[in-house]
Structure 1
Amino acid sequence: MNTVIAFILIFGALVFFHELGHLVLAKRAGILCREFAIGFGPKIFSYRKNETLYTIRLLPVGGYVRMAGEDPENIEVKPGYNIGLLFNKEGKVEKIVLNNKDKYPQARVIEVEKADLERAMMITGYEQGEEENLQRFDVAEKSFFIVDGQEVQIAPYNRQFASKSLSQRTLAIAAGPAMNFVLAFVVLFLLGFIQGAPIDEPMLGKLTADGSAAEAGLQEGDVVQSIDGQEMRSWEDVVEVIRENPETSLAFVVERNGETLEVPVVPEAFDTGESEIGRIGAYNPVEKSFLGSLQYGVTETYTWTKEILLGLGKLVTGQFSIDMLSGPVGIYDMTDRVAQSGVINLLRWAAILSINLGIVNMLPIPALDGGRLLFFAVEAVRGKPIDRHMEGMVHFIGFALLMLLMLVVTWNDIQRFFL
């Protein structure tokens, strides 16, 4: 049960910050954001603030920000429609009642002759019994449809995604993956601040109780001056000598509380699968400082970004099998293992997942943020947008292929862990 909660919280946080990036930059560009959703499927919680409906949905497998104009507006006012009009204090149409008009006796009912609710923001039509008297009604910038008693905000063209400049649209889409890198950095920075950031000094950090260092009598804080007569200038020097000498007695000369001690240590052998290395059960030294934690956050974010990109490169070149990929089931299983090792490791795992989510979303694949950015790049080169229907079809096909890949990966996970 704890793993389920940890998985939902971690994945929910990654999706929340990803979508928050989209939301903030879209709103800053003036785009009407109809919904900010965590999860898919039926709503289990909703809250409206200003123009946006914030929802949590049943299936915690993603999220989205529904921006006006990204999909065709699903409510239209066409010639011949009978609609009710409600006005604001300035005499402009504030609400358009499309059905159940008898519930709004104060509404002026007209038959529509023409309507432009994107650019001109006006409606022309005839009131009942006055077919010879064509009237024009100006629609307020912030106005609403009323459908089945529910209000739906009308999106003028200048509030739609497509109306914004290429740079504004690019920032709104790129902000999602960017927030995943920011989240990873913040988590790693906090970890460095809580547990200390590693420093490259020839000093022993924490020791494992059953390691050969503790059994030999070494202690946390011992400064390693030399090993077998070889001077140690950094932690990397210490690690290198230990790794190269499994099951070999090494003479450690250490400084402890102003005294110099010589301690023989035999590194235990550890099989990595490729070679046998030595280890003594000692962690690297750490220090707790703001600048050290800042550097640790940057370095770790960069290191994991590079590792994930190298893994993707191996996948493309065939050095990495698709059977080695993990979907939700595999991630859940790994989260279970990491959760058992403590909160610190769980937070580090969350940071790695956040970086992975940011990188995957930046891949130039249709239906992902990177695919959309690729279309923006093509638009920048050719000087005009690609046909929306063509782009929509490409994204639809890309989404279908991604779902197929997800099914394959999930089935592999199930076979690997349960069959």
Structure 2
Amino acid sequence: MNSIIAIIVIFGALVFFHELGHLLLAKRAGILCREFAIGFGPKIFSMKKGETVYTIRLLPLGGFVRMAGEDPENIDLKPGHRIGLLLNPDNKVKKIVVNRKINYPDAKIITVEAADLEHKLVIKGYESEEGPLEVYDVSKKCHYVMDGQEYQIAPYDRQFGSKSLWDRFLAIFAGPFMNFLLAFVILAAFGLMYGSPVNQAIIGGVAENGAAAEAGLQTGDKIINIDGQSINSWDEFTEVIQQHPSQEITFTVERNDKTLELPITPQERPNYKGETEGVIGVGYQTEFSILGSIKYGFDTTIEYTKLIVFGLGQLVTGAISIDNLSGPVGIYSYTDQAAKEGLAVLLRWGALLSINLGIINLLPLPALDGGRLIFIAIEGLRGKPIDPQKESLVHFIGFAFLMLLMLVVTWNDIQKFFLN
């Protein structure tokens, strides 16, 4: 049960903060945001606040913010349409009823002659065949009713495409950025809870059966030099060790005001680049400070980012196979394992997932945030936007390929975790 709760909380937080970034920057730019959704598929919860409907949907595979103008508006009043109009005290149209059966006694029924709900915000029509042509001004916050559902119209100045390149860039980029920010906050909180590393060459812990333990290195030992090379920080200390896999090196350490020399042979292990490096099985000292935790959150966020980007590079070059990718099933399984390891492991895993989500969304692929940013960049270079229908088609095809990839990866996960 605890693992299930952890999975829900982590995935919910990753998607929530990603979509919150889109929502906040879109609203800041004046874009009408129709829906803020966590998940896909049928709605299981819905609440409207202001202009936006907040929903939780059945399939926990992501989320979205539906901005006006990203997709074609689903109202088109053509000549001959019979509609009902409700007016506000300023005699402007506040509601348009487009159903054939209009159940609003106060509605003014007209036959449409012409309508512009984006720029001029007017509806022209006749109450009867013999009557004069009437012109009705439309409120910017006018709603239309279709099949019992109300939708707010989106004048052009409230649509995504009407905003500057910079505003649109920020509205899209804010989603991935929030994932990096969330990772930083999680890791900084980890530093506050469990301590952040002190950049001094002082041993904070010694692993059993490691090279350091076998050589007699102890917690609290201060490293003075290695093979005569002066050591002034933990970073220098680890760098020297990594450069000497399977090579004996002599540590000069200070312990209880005494100086000792300990020969140690670092063991070999592959790093994230696939290269061999040395390790001796020791941990750094930690401290509990706000500034130290902030630095730890920042440094570790950068470290995880480099790790993921390098892995993606290996995938592109073919150094690693697509079989090594994990989809929702694999991520759920790994999150379950992290939850069983305890809060410390779960926090770091959540931060890694958040960074991974941010990076994946920034890839220049259709249907992802990175793909949308590419279209914005192309528009900036061309000086005019790409045909919205062509852009929508590209994103649709890209989304289809992503879903196909998701199915392949999910099948690999099922085989890996359940059929082997």
Relative to the length of structure 2, the TM-score reads 0.89
In structure 1, how many angstroms separate the alpha carbons of the residues matched to 2:50 and 2:114? 30
The Cα shift of 1:386 comes to 0.9
Aligned residue for 1:25?
25
8 Å Cα contact 1:246-1:278 kept in structure 2: no
Instruction: Measure, in 1, the Cα distance between the counterparts of 2:314 and 2:248.
Output: 36
What letter corresponds to residue 50 of structure 1 in structure 2? G
How far does the alpha carbon of each residue in 1:230-286 deviate from its partner, in whole angstroms, 9 at most, with x for none?
765333565567775879898874334xx4375979889676698695534x31112
Partner of 2:365: 365
Aligned AA (1:199): V
Deviation for aligned residue 1:228: 8.5
Moved more, 407-416 or 60-69: 407-416
Which range is displaced more, 325-334 or 99-108? Answer: 99-108
2:389 pairs with 1:394: no
2:163 is matched with 164
Is contact 1:218-1:263 (8 Å) kept?
A: no
Alignment partners' CA distance in 2, 1:230 and 1:116: 77
How do 1:191-340 residues align onto structure 2 when only pairs under 5 Å count?
Answer: 191-207=190-206, 220-225=219-224, 232-236=231-235, 238-239=237-238, 253-256=253-256, 259-260=257-258, 279-280=280-281, 282-340=282-340
Unmatched tracts of structure 2, length 5 or more: none
Tell me, yes or no, if the aligned pair for 1:113 and 1:125 is still in contact at 8 Å.
Answer: yes
Of 54-63 and 239-248, more deviation after overlay is shown by: 239-248
Q: Deviation string for 1:39-83 (max 9, x for gaps)? A: 001111111110000011111100000011111111222221221
- % identical equivalent positions: 60
1:142 partner letter: K
Give 1:319's aligned amino acid. A
Cα offset, 1:361, TM superposition: 0.8
Q: Could you say which residue in structure 1 is the equivalent of 2:112?
A: 112
- Residue in 1 aligned with 2:137? 138
* Amino acid paired to 1:279: I
In 2, Cα distance between equivalents of 1:292 and 1:225 = 23
Whole-angstrom CA distance in 1 between matches of 2:279 and 2:329? 34
CA distance in 1 between partners of 2:7 and 2:57 (Å) = 16
Cα distance change, pair 230–157 in 1 and its aligned pair in 2 (3 A): closer
1:273-310 CA distances to partner (integer Å, 9 max, x unpaired)? 98695534x31112222222222222111111112111
- Aligned AA (2:91): G
Distance of aligned partners of 1:229 and 1:114 in 2 relative to their CA distance in 1, 3 Å threshold:
closer
Query: CA offset at residue 338 of structure 1?
Result: 1.8
| More off after superposition, 282-291 vs 265-274 | 265-274
Deviates more, 1:217-226 or 1:290-299: 217-226
State the SS of the aligned residue for 2:7. Answer: helix
**Structure 1 equivalent of residue 356 of structure 2:** 356
Q: Which residue of 1 aligns with 2:75?
A: 75
**Count of aligned positions:** 415
Cα 1:224–1:67 shift into 2, 3 Å: same
Q: How much has 1:152 moved relative to structure 2? A: 1.2
Q: Tell me how far apart the structure 2 counterparts of residues 383 and 251 of structure 1 sit (CA, whole Å).
A: 63
Alpha carbons of 1:17 and 1:164: their partners in 2 closer, same or farther (altered >3 Å)? same
What is the SS of the residue equivalent to 2:62?
strand
The answer to whether the Cα contact below 8 Å between 1:83 and 1:101 also exists between their aligned partners in 2 is no
| Alpha-carbon spacing, 1:125–1:278, altered in 2? closer, same or farther (3 Å) | closer
Distance 1:127 1:417, change over 3 A: same
1:296-335 alpha-carbon deviations (Å, 9 max, x no partner): 2221111111121111111111212111111112212221
1:415 and 2:378 are equivalent in the alignment: no
CA contact (8 A) 1:100 1:148 kept: no
Q: Give the match for residue 385 of structure 2.
A: 385
Distance 1:364 1:302 in 2: 21
CA 1:264/1:303 → structure 2, altered by over 3 Å: closer, same or farther?
Answer: closer
8 Å contact kept, 1:101–1:107: no
Cα 1:71–1:245 shift into 2, 3 Å: closer
Check if 1:152 corresponds to 2:151: yes
Most deviating of 38-47 and 99-108: 99-108
Question: Equivalent residue of 2:120, what SS?
Answer: coil
Cα distance change on mapping 1:26 and 1:316 into 2, 3 Å: same
- Please state whether the residue corresponding to 2:283 is helix, strand or coil: coil
Distance (whole Å) between structure 2 residues aligned to residue 147 and residue 240 of structure 1:
66
Residues 138, 190 of structure 1: alpha-carbon distance in 2 compared, 3 angstrom cutoff: same
In structure 2, what is the equivalent of residue 42 of structure 1?
42
Q: Distance in 2 between matches of 1:366 and 1:253?
A: 56
SS of the aligned residue for 2:204 comes to coil
Cα distance between partner residues in 2 of 1:240 and 1:339: 32
Give the secondary structure class of the aligned counterpart of 1:75: coil
Contact 1:177 1:361 in 2 (8 A): yes
Report what 1:15 is aligned to. 15
Q: Contact between 2:33 and 2:51, CA under 8 Å: does it hold in 1?
A: yes
Corresponding residue for 2:186? 187
**Pair 236,145 (structure 1): closer, same or farther in 2 beyond 3 Å:** closer
Secondary structure in structure 1 of the residue aligned to 2:284: coil
Taking the aligned partners of 1:363 and 1:260, their CA distance within structure 2 comes to 55
Closer/same/farther in 2, CA of residues 312 and 135 from structure 1, 3 Å limit: same
